[in-house]
Structure 1
């Protein structure tokens, strides 16, 4: 049961092949994500925003702030991979970021960040050629190299994953 709450859309898939149709679908999902989050949190009270999706899980407020932080990092990772040879990205401890005072603040600034970052990210994705998606970055925490196809897959999943958490938290509140 706990896995169902932690991973309501399942775990991130590890796909052997990723085609151009899949990349287009994920790009569209990245483009549309900010409006989906905004719709999901529209009209929620502070009390509702501070409701976790599971015991010891993040609140809706923390999820929105996390999405802004995570997707800013994702956009930078794409830019680094497109402009440098196998850059080593800077990881961060997301649970510690979620405990910082700014995660207690209003969500509107983070919704604005999501909108701006996703607008630019989608524009970048639409402009990329198939060979651009072969560019890679190194994640030192996992000692692994990721190409931008895999990365786009992970972040599209990340969008669905946390949107499902928001919906769970809303159901738990009622």
Structure 2
């Protein structure tokens, strides 16, 4: 099924609410639960979603502002960021607010700029439209939110 642009933007903008719902009712100690040994904790997964979205935010803004221009991605190793940004112990409160405002802002731009979803980003691996990027962002967040829900089921939370 192909989503209409307005539905795609709405789905994109729902991720912060879905993440907040997945985290709802959890105590701070619950955030340290993992699906299995060697997997990230709920807290680490939530930080990862938002850290990636910070990258996606900049990529989407760049494509919206200067369509067709080349954008060079920095290498991003999530395990390095998990460790160096201390995801295993940091609070999620500020990041959840940030996630909400980033998604709201990009959704606003996509709804108000002419042909926003058709604007293009060129990168070292090819090119993508903002529509493609938004679809990727939705999939990424939903994938990791499902991991949080799976962890909650495993631990009966």
- TM-score, scaled to structure 2: 0.86
Give, in angstroms, the shift of residue 68 of structure 1: 1.4
Q: Taking structure 1 as reference, are residues 20 and 33 closer, same or farther at Cα in structure 2, changes over 3 Å only? A: closer
Q: Does 1:43 align with 2:43?
A: no
CA distance in 2, matches of 1:89, 1:126: 25
- TM-score, scaled to structure 1: 0.78
Instruction: Please give the per-residue CA displacement for 1:116-143, whole angstroms capped at 9, x wherever unaligned.
Output: 111212111212333x323222443xx2
Aligned Cα root-mean-square deviation (Å): 2.0
* Structure 2: runs of 5 or more not aligned: none
Aligned counterpart, 1:72: 54
4+ runs deviating over 4 angstroms: none
CA distance in 1, matches of 2:94, 2:52: 14
For these two proteins, the number of residue pairs brought into alignment is 153
Q: Does 1:31 align with 2:24?
A: no
CA distance in 2, matches of 1:26, 1:128: 15
Indicate if the aligned counterparts of 1:89 and 1:137 stay in contact, CA closer than 8 A. no
Paired residue secondary structure (2:127): strand
Give, in angstroms, the shift of residue 162 of structure 1: 1.0
Aligned counterpart, 1:164: 146
